[in-house]
Amino acid sequence: MTRPVARRLAVLAVSAAVMSVGAAAPPSAGQNGVEKEPVAVGHGGAVASVDPDASAAGIEVLRGGGNAVDAAVATAAALGVTEPYSAGIGGGGYFVYYDAVSRTVHTIDGRETAPLTADENLFVEDGKAIPFADAVSSGLSVGTPGTPATWQTALDSWGSKRLGTLLKPAERLARDGFTVDETFRSQTASNETRFRYFPDTAELFLPGGELPVVGSTFKNPDLARTYEELGRKGAGALYRGKLAHDIVDTVNEPPVDPQAGYTARPGDLSLKDLSAYRTKRQAPTKTSYRGLDVYAMAPSSSGGTTVGEALNILESTDLSKASEAQYLHRYIEASRIAFADRGRWVGDPAFEDVPTKELVSQKYADARACLIKDDAVLTSPVAPGDPRNPAKCDTSGTAAPTTYEGDSTTHLTVADKWGNVVSYTLTIEQTGGSAITVPDRGFILNNELTDFSFTPASPAVHDPNLPGPGKRPRSSMSPTIVLDKHGKPVVALGSPGGATIITTVLQTLTGFLDRGLPLVDAIAAPRASQRNQTTTEIEPGLWTSPRKAELEAIGHGFRQNAEIGAATGVQRLPNGKWLAAAETERRGGGSAMVVSPAP
């Protein structure tokens, strides 16, 4: 790596080792009495997630001799209990794994798939796209879940314990309950109208017909029984047998309250769709940045290509010496350009000819970087370039706007005492998913198929993200692992947040690697998110900052977003130590834990 980056990382490692955590908030009371802290340093492994009970489940597995993969599965299962509106076995995700023995990075694409009967008109009626709100809360939006298959694939490939053993902490949590916090209540409240459409959802998440009370205990015995069944029979139980029948029946005949006055469009999911589902073991994207190797998810995710392209665009600028406004300007413009190319080129590679290697090439980034000016702002939507035939400063392509993605999802990051690392993002799409709970099963089904373009984003250009039979919708999930020149981990991280995931990961990486922020402070920093749109979303910390006026003076336009993303990460420190970091405030603050805290 370059000497400035090496020096900054060395300083950060020393600071972390002595618990210099900058803006980290003091610990707050977590669920079930578990302390919620945004940063932890120690030996034996580390877990960072949004929830203390979930992080504690991962730590329990690490203390019991499990490895990072085992702990990641246990943490994810617990998040399915305490974060049921963001993740669960009714959804999918992307799993990135670093093997410390071989010093290699591997990935699993566990994205949901469209029914085999789907075509590009999945969301079109009478020649027009159906209203988004109608698509969301419907069987039509539900893709074949990939999360249980992801767990099984990861364990079969690199795990050391049985799925049944790893589901026990989550099963216990679902049976005995967890303490409702303000985030859980507010997310329930924001979905209350939708939840009341479906009796099984209302019965579970609106106990006694009311919103759950902060401080009360929330139990999900149906999910406990479902986890017990998966643990006993294996993940295949979701794809074949009684549970598969229950899912198909629910999707194709959504159980709506007849008094609700709502019509839920039926889906067309079949038992064949479930039994045919397979995860994909595939090579990660790889981008060189400041002498480090950045590994992430290749398509069907757009995370690896878009973060990678933006990093390559920023490579020529010394962000460590830039003023805060100059840094933000360059970061925003690099994001704008990378999103222009994402919209044109990235889709499911089983259906689309995606130029993955070209998108993350330095040659292509250099051809795009010259579009950025220090004293002016690009006009969105920016036209895409052609990564296979890079033309310097090319603006001749046809621009297309960025389509909407739900802003929920959750991310967890794990390291173990052997040096293995997992960065795992999982989701049911927007907060509350489809709002449809499988009767007597305790989990909500995804609305992931709404990540497809309903109609072509631009009628003049092929849209790689239209629906198709068995196709995976494009995602922005960006679980990332960074290695040094010796092939050892430097940092791993990821975030929820729909399309803002990409900008959250990019901003956190550059804050940590370039700006010299401790990891917890890079995560806590106020965020900006530009996705090839006319204005850039910024959080209140930037909205009230003098930087806003400085950026507006050269042409930037902004709109406020109260909260962007909710990242977690781990950092490797000297002498076998790990630092785990999570949010200090977003989503009520995250939970960082280590097996053996440093004195």
For residue 164, give the CATH number of its domain. Answer: 3.60.20.40
In this prediction, residues 563-567 reach a mean pLDDT of 96
Annotated ligand binding at 111? The verdict is: yes
Amino acid letter, 564: I
> At residue 599, does pLDDT exceed 50?
yes
Largest CA distance in the chain: 67
Mean pLDDT of 311-320: 97
Q: Establish if 77 belongs to a structural domain.
A: yes
Average pLDDT, integer, range 341-348: 96
Residue 489: half-sphere exposure toward Cβ, Cα within 13 Å: 34
Q: Just list the catalytic residues.
A: 409
Whole-number Å distance between alpha carbons of 295 and 312: 13
Q: Please give the structure tokens belonging to residue 405.
A: 């993605």
325 lies in some domain: no
DSSP letter at 27 equals: P
Indicate if the pLDDT at residue 11 is higher than 70.
no
Question: Domain of 79?
Answer: 3-281+404-597
Which pLDDT score, from 0 to 100, does residue 398 have? Answer: 84
Query: Please, which pLDDT band fits residue 17 given cuts at 50, 70 and 90?
Result: low
Which pLDDT band holds residue 137 (cuts at 50, 70, 90)? Answer: very high
Q: Which of 303-317, 406-420, 488-502 has the lowest mean pLDDT?
A: 406-420
498 is in an annotated binding site: yes
Burial class from Cβ neighbours inside 10 Å (0-12, 13-18, 19+) for residue 268 reads middle
Contact 157, 72 (CB under 8 A): no
The burial class, CB within 10 Å (0-12 / 13-18 / 19+), for 319 is middle
Q: List Cβ neighbours of 347 (8 Å cut-off, separation of 6 or more).
A: 299, 300, 354, 463, 464, 465, 471, 474
- How far apart, in Å, do the first and last CA atoms of the chain sit? 31
341 within some domain: no
The four Cα atoms 399, 405, 410, 413 give a dihedral, to 10 degrees, of: -10
299 part of a folded domain? no
User: pLDDT-derived band of residue 28, with 50, 70 and 90 as boundaries?
Assistant: very low
Q: What is the per-residue pLDDT across 378-432, written as a single tens digit (0 to 9) for each?
A: 999 999 999 999 999 888 788 876 776 666 799 999 999 999 999 999 999 999 9
Determine which helix (DSSP H) or strand (DSSP E) holds 73, and give its type and residue range. Answer: helix 68-82
Is residue 354 a part of any domain in this protein?
no
Domain-located, residue 375: no
Of 493, 481, 560, 538, the closest CA to residue 335 belongs to 538
To the question of whether residue 293 is assigned a binding role by annotation, the answer is no
pLDDT, one tens digit per residue, over 448-466 is: 999 999 998 778 789 999 9
Q: Which of 409, 580, 419, 533 is nearest to 478 (CA)?
A: 409
Average of per-residue pLDDT values in the chain:
94
Domain count, the chain: 1
In angstroms, how far is CA 59 from the centroid of its own chain? Answer: 21
Q: What is the pLDDT of residue 549?
A: 98
475: annotated binding-site residue? yes
- Cα–Cα separations (whole angstroms), residue 45 to 420, 421, 467, 551: 9, 9, 41, 41
Please check if 451 is assigned to a binding site: yes
The model's confidence at residue 196, banded by pLDDT at 50, 70 and 90, is very high
% helix, strand, coil for the chain, step of 5: 40, 20, 45
Report pLDDT digits (tens) over 535-555: 999 999 999 999 999 999 999
- Over residues 124-140, the mean pLDDT reads 95
Cα separation, 43 vs 596, in Å, equals: 5
Segment 73-130, tens digit of pLDDT? 999 999 999 999 999 999 999 999 999 999 999 999 999 999 999 999 999 999 999 9
Residue 372 lies in a domain: no
